Structure 1
């Protein structure tokens, strides 16, 4: 069942969640429907909701993930919210990841300049190792002060970083619009999803487990489990794997994954989780469930379309033993 206050039409907009009112209703809902605290769960289920934030999910925000339909993330989140409400008694914990950025990061326009002193056009500029090597794009000297770094060191890092991406077969460095800015509206969770997660938290007596990612200025962090590049040019640790979250996920009986975008942060997270599982016990892939109707790929009409890459990744995950499921499926029927 879905609470009467949930309004599909509100999922595409930003609004204030009435916390106290929802808290009272959640406790009443739990009593009315015989929903016990999460601590009583014999089958422990985690919903890993990746970057369900305004910046990716609300039309006209910085990086709205429309998919080929043009309304992808909105439709995904309607289904995701309904999935949470229908399966409230089966989801032990909700873990939303929060893409978290400031302006001066390696994937934002201010970080780079061309010979004319111009910043790259966001979403339309890919910076390769060859581009940096040839000086097509160079680090903006002005960012060194705020990053508390030597300018030559930053230039060497740019070469090292883009080469690492190439050597590891990853996407070239993409210059994105300023997005998920810490302290901004775009950084916040989608209101309807925040409301659903809060309702779950109170009804199940299970704290929502927020996971911050992407706040290291000198690397991208599509995956919540590890950054794109781990080391500096000198081999020093730039950022670390999220070993604590990896260990926690592997202890659940089931991990359900949804969010944005299917072609980037979602696919990268699943891929890293698959790598960890295969290194530990490949049979554990069977406990990972991918909500394939609650995620969409990055599509910028006339510029880029990552739909095929996303579908290929999901086919590979399924072939490895992960399960593709729909939001209309009842969790209780999976076991």
Structure 2
């Protein structure tokens, strides 16, 4: 095993720190021309020539989580967490443009009628739960505090309300048995076709710039469309089967295999306590089944991710920090985006 220390590049002049918290249109044609010139000026080679293959896995760097005022802005402890994270993340991409082989952004992708959205549940008088402030437990269902909205059965189970009720009960039970977070009713977010679903403009621009400069197609990974399960992790949904043990959803086996084959995998994005932590946890599970020492090739960008914190409501900082400490203990490397990083590669 040899090591390679990254040679950091300057930040291209088009990058504007002040725009990271805003939504705007990336000028693709102009930026493509800039990227080709930049590659020539800095002798940036095509990614296909990389001897050390490095993947940057970006979890849900979308407007819905990263822009103040959007549905689930991840403010972290500071209140500006995701914006600060994405400033550092954009700079990280530009500085390490010459060594990042492939960028894999994940896209949390939802429609209105899903098990974690308000429309799915009603109380005795037909009211929907208050998003972000409501967790639904087995006891809630058993006592009739919350029940599946009969009106959604037509869309989800072809009108079979009994089937939908059975699955919802089983689903909440499985979350508890598997040590997952309880079923949280979230605000409508990451809505397919909406502005919130899109990547943050500054990060999208950096990813596109990388794609052109390195001639490396960006690999977008979709998650979260199944109406009957949450999907925090890009590698697998929260629950894989229904109450009759029939397949409900599948692991992302192709991406798992792909990640295991890279020489290094760098991970950042939102939120540290949820989709980032769950993805890393699933990746670690897969690594342990193959070779536990492979954990050493996973690098976690600690300053490019923040936990979910809703002042006065929830604070997942401790859970996020505990998860990252466990990942480090397993051999994963906690790094900062400003560091010069030594990546191991095959001799």
TM-score range with shorter-chain normalisation? over 0.9
Report what 1:225 is aligned to: 235
**Please, what is the CA RMSD of the aligned residues?**
0.7
Name the TM-score, length of structure 2 as normaliser: 0.95
- Greater mean deviation of Cα atoms: 128-137 or 245-254: 128-137
2:81 pairs with one of 72, 75, 89: 72
Kindly indicate whether the alpha-carbon contact (under 8 Å) linking 2:235 and 2:283 is maintained by their aligned counterparts in 1.
yes
SS of aligned partner of 1:96: strand
Kindly indicate whether the alpha-carbon contact (under 8 Å) linking 2:268 and 2:302 is maintained by their aligned counterparts in 1.
yes
- Greater mean deviation of Cα atoms: 141-150 or 36-45: 141-150
SS of aligned partner of 2:187: coil
SS of aligned partner of 1:144: helix
1:37 pairs with one of 46, 62, 77: 46
Give deviations 1:277-299, integer Å, cap 9, x for gaps: 00111010000000000000000
SS of aligned partner of 2:305: coil
Distance 2:159 2:140 in 1: 22
1:1-12 alignment, distance < 5 Å: 1-12=10-21
Q: Does 1:253 align with 2:253?
A: no
Distance 1:114 1:157 in 2: 18
Following superposition, the deviation at residue 84 of structure 1 comes to 0.2
Distance 2:106 2:44 in 1: 26
SS of aligned partner of 1:46: strand
Distance 1:330 1:237 in 2: 44
Runs of 4+, deviation exceeding 4 Å: none
Report what 1:327 is aligned to: 337
Following superposition, the deviation at residue 320 of structure 1 comes to 0.3
Report what 1:94 is aligned to: 103
Distance 2:17 2:275 in 1: 25
Kindly indicate whether the alpha-carbon contact (under 8 Å) linking 2:297 and 2:343 is maintained by their aligned counterparts in 1.
no
Following superposition, the deviation at residue 334 of structure 1 comes to 3.7
Following superposition, the deviation at residue 149 of structure 1 comes to 4.4
Distance 2:337 2:40 in 1: 25
Following superposition, the deviation at residue 330 of structure 1 comes to 2.4
1:151-190 alignment, distance < 5 Å: 151-190=161-200
Report what 1:22 is aligned to: 31
1:90-169 alignment, distance < 5 Å: 90-147=99-156, 148-169=158-179
Give deviations 1:168-189, integer Å, cap 9, x for gaps: 0111000000000000000000
2:311 pairs with one of 298, 301, 312: 301
What stretches of structure 1 of length at least 5 have no aligned partner? none
1:184-223 alignment, distance < 5 Å: 184-223=194-233
Distance 1:94 1:326 in 2: 18
Kindly indicate whether the alpha-carbon contact (under 8 Å) linking 1:87 and 1:330 is maintained by their aligned counterparts in 2.
no
Report what 1:290 is aligned to: 300
SS of aligned partner of 1:296: coil
2:90 pairs with one of 81, 90, 93: 81
SS of aligned partner of 1:91: coil
1:315 pairs with one of 305, 310, 325: 325
Give deviations 1:100-147, integer Å, cap 9, x for gaps: 000000000000001121100000000011211221110001101112
Name the TM-score, length of structure 1 as normaliser: 0.99
Kindly indicate whether the alpha-carbon contact (under 8 Å) linking 1:83 and 1:328 is maintained by their aligned counterparts in 2.
yes
Kindly indicate whether the alpha-carbon contact (under 8 Å) linking 1:64 and 1:73 is maintained by their aligned counterparts in 2.
yes
Equivalent residue pairs, number = 334
SS of aligned partner of 2:287: helix
SS of aligned partner of 2:150: coil
Structure 1 pair 140–253 and aligned structure 2 pair: CA distance change class (3 A): same
Kindly indicate whether the alpha-carbon contact (under 8 Å) linking 1:232 and 1:238 is maintained by their aligned counterparts in 2.
yes
SS of aligned partner of 1:12: coil
